[in-house]
């Protein structure tokens, strides 16, 4: 399917506005203009902040300054240009909106029949000169009325089918004298490729579809179209007139988004000038719509194939919303799965609590992933796998292989006792297993786990000690060492702790730390010299995220990139990679978390960005 870009629809939608008096314009202070015409059961709504000053704030971050500078180098210099503040922002409302209209009965919904773009207008007088030009310059314009609303339908000329271009490959290539400055090696390469190019059409002709069912409509043979309608205070554009007519019908029913408490909750959060983009999904209507769209035979790339989203599995949620917003630290993405609106008197506990697992990680940690009750999470994951026959088969084969190889039950012996907080992390160290890869590898990987059943954990660790010694036939000796009064168990090659494969230590009665070798764990017991939660980078990356939560994902981009560049200097010191280093270096950290309240499930991710550097 060939669809006009949304930006094209946005521009064209602004060219058809008839004069509207100030008294008829909807207020943008309490609710967005579109909420007064979009139906209450609209499946999906996207709100794009159009305030220039909001987007200008991105320039204070080096990442976006670099991106804007790079993008401007590729923009044509001789085409139409405009001053956004003067030519666009002066008349455009605070939020441009895209939406999909709900399914109608048993009819199959498509993008063409559902998609709308809505542009609120603050000052329509600036747009009038464009209206007649649009009608004059655009071919095949139809102007008609639908229930008192003017609709303009425009169609572009039909594009020739793509199939007619294949035989042209057999045309004889014109003889062109080579340029004098063409490198000899390139001329030779061209001569080598010539015979292969001539053989291509015959090979292409042999490729035939196995059945008519495999043939899909060629999107390039369809006529591209769009439609625009004038409403009081804004204009609406669609790929076809069908969703516009549906919108007109719905607006006259007086049951709009303005009366939907779930959307109002989303809109209140979107009103901040720091929110650049907002999306709202009404799940009860979004799921049937998207299941229909996935079946559209004219879509060239099906996303989920024949699978459908099961609305029953999402019944505890009423809607999903998301926000992209600016913070002093950088850029934030937040996604919420909202439960039905209820009145709750629950007091939210936002007090920062001690994170004992994070306290087991050094300040220079490259990356960390923390959570709680790994055993329960694995059970839930395994249950999900079991619902798919092929995944269930893979899972059973893995369990059987692990049991036959080690004599241990993966679910019971390995994960069964991991019922407390846990954390996987990578960190800089000069010792440990990875020094066998390279003396300069300087990487350690650790796992810290809390348990309420230390006896079961000790039983598993002892079994693993016996297994490794038996498997390597005496090549590894399990030794006990002392580090500052802390007992450490190490798998030493030939009994030498400087050649250790794995080491672990009970740092308190219910917490065990496991690392890649004795040299690595030596940096962590009894505890790291500098704790990760006390560092500026980690605080800056997580302080604005919700707490309590289910754990963190965290990457210290500075230390991680330093390790990568140091490990492979010949690759990353190349002059062609320098621009990418500048972009990557402008991201200080990446952090994410999930959290749960009685009202919603929430996911947050934060990019902490470097400020713009003054030259």
Reported as a single tens digit per residue, the pLDDT across 407-440 is: 999 999 999 999 999 999 999 998 888 887 777 7
Q: Which of 133, 134, 153 has the alpha carbon at shortest distance from 143?
A: 153
Predicted pLDDT at 36: 80
The answer to whether the CB of 392 falls within 8 A of the CB of 436 is: no
Extract the residue ranges of the chain whose pLDDT is less than 50: 1-29, 75-82, 162-222, 301-305, 345-347
pLDDT in tens, 222-275: 456 788 887 777 778 899 999 999 998 887 777 888 888 888 888 888 888 899
The answer to whether the CB of 140 falls within 8 A of the CB of 134 is: no
The answer to whether the CB of 117 falls within 8 A of the CB of 98 is: yes
Q: How far apart are CA 483 and CA 505, in angstroms?
A: 10
Predicted pLDDT at 151: 87
Report DSSP letters for 222-270, one per residue.
SPPEEEEEEETTEEEEESSSHHHHHHHHHHTTT-BGGG-HHHHHHHHHH
Beta strand 367-372 with 421-427 is antiparallel
Q: The pTM is what? A: 0.77
Place of tokens 């006259």: 252
Predicted pLDDT at 33: 64
Phi, psi of 199 (to 5 degrees): -80, -10
Q: How far apart are CA 462 and CA 417, in angstroms?
A: 14
Q: Which residues pair with 423 in a beta bridge?
A: 370, 448
The answer to whether the CB of 95 falls within 8 A of the CB of 35 is: no
Q: Which of 525, 425, 427 has the alpha carbon at shortest distance from 481?
A: 525
Predicted pLDDT at 300: 56
Predicted pLDDT at 592: 97
């Amino acid at each position: 399917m060939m669809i006009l870009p949304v930006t094209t629809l946005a521009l064209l939608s602004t060219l058809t506005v008839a004069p509207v008096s100030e008294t008829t314009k909807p207020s943008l202070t309490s609710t967005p203009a579109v909420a007064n015409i979009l139906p209450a059961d609209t499946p999906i709504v996207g709100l794009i902040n159009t305030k220039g000053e909001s987007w200008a704030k991105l320039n204070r971050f080096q990442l976006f300054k670099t991106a804007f500078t790079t993008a401007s180098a590729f923009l044509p210099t001789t085409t139409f240009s405009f001053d956004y503040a003067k030519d666009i922002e002066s008349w455009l409302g605070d939020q441009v909106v895209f939406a999909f209209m709900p399914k109608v009965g048993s009819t199959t919904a498509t993008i063409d029949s559902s998609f709308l773009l809505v542009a609120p207008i603050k000052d329509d007088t600036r747009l009038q000169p464009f209206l007649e030009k649009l009608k004059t310059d655009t071919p095949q314009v139809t102007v008609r009325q639908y229930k008192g609303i003017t609709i303009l339908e425009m169609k572009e000329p039909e594009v020739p089918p793509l199939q007619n271009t294949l035989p042209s490959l057999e045309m004889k290539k014109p003889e062109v004298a080579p340029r004098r400055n063409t490198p000899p090696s390139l001329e030779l390469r061209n001569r080598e490729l010539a015979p292969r190019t001539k053989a291509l059409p015959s090979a292409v002709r042999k490729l035939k579809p196995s059945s008519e069912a495999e043939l899909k409509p060629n999107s390039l043979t369809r006529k591209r179209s769009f439609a625009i309608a004038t409403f009081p205070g804004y204009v609406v554009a669609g790929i076809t007139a069908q969703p516009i007519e549906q919108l007109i019908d719905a607006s006259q029913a007086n049951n709009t988004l303005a009366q939907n408490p779930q959307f109002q909750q989303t809109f209140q959060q979107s009103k901040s000038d720091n929110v650049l983009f907002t999306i709202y999904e009404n799940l009860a209507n979004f799921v049937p719509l998207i299941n229909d769209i996935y079946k559209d035979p004219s879509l060239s790339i099906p996303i989920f194939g024949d699978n459908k989203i099961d609305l029953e599995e999402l019944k505890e949620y009423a809607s999903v919303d998301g926000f992209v917003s600016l913070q002093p630290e950088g850029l934030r993405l937040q996604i919420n799965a909202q439960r039905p609106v209820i009145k709750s008197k629950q007091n939210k506990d936002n007090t920062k609590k001690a994170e004992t697992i994070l306290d087991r990680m050094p300040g220079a940690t490259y990356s960390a992933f923390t959570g709680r009750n790994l055993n329960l999470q694995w059970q839930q994951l395994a249950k999900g796998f079991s619902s798919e026959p092929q995944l269930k088969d893979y899972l059973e084969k893995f369990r059987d292989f692990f049991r036959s190889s080690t004599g241990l039950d993966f679910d019971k012996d390995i994960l069964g006792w991991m019922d407390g907080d846990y954390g996987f992390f990578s960190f800089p160290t000069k010792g440990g297993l990875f020094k066998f890869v390279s003396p300069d590898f300087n990487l350690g990987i650790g796992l810290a786990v809390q348990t309420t059943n230390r006896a079961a954990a000790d039983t598993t660790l002892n079994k693993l000690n016996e297994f490794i010694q038996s498997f390597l036939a005496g090549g590894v000796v399990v030794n006990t060492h002392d580090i500052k009064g802390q007992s450490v168990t190490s798998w030493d090659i030939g009994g030498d702790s400087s050649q250790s494969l794995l080491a672990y230590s009970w740092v308190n009665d219910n917490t065990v730390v496991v690392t890649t070798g004795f040299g690595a764990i030596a940096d962590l017991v009894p505890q790291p010299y500098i704790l990760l939660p006390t560092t500026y980078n980690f605080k800056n990356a997580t302080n604005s995220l919700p707490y309590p939560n289910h754990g963190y994902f965290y990457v210290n981009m500075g230390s991680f990139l330093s390790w990568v560049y140091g490990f492979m200097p010949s690759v990353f010191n190349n002059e062609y990679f320098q621009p990418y280093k500048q972009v990557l270096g402008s991201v200080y950290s990446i952090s994410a978390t999930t959290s749960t309240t009685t009202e919603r499930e929430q996911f947050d991710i934060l990019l902490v960005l470097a400020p713009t550097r003054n030259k």
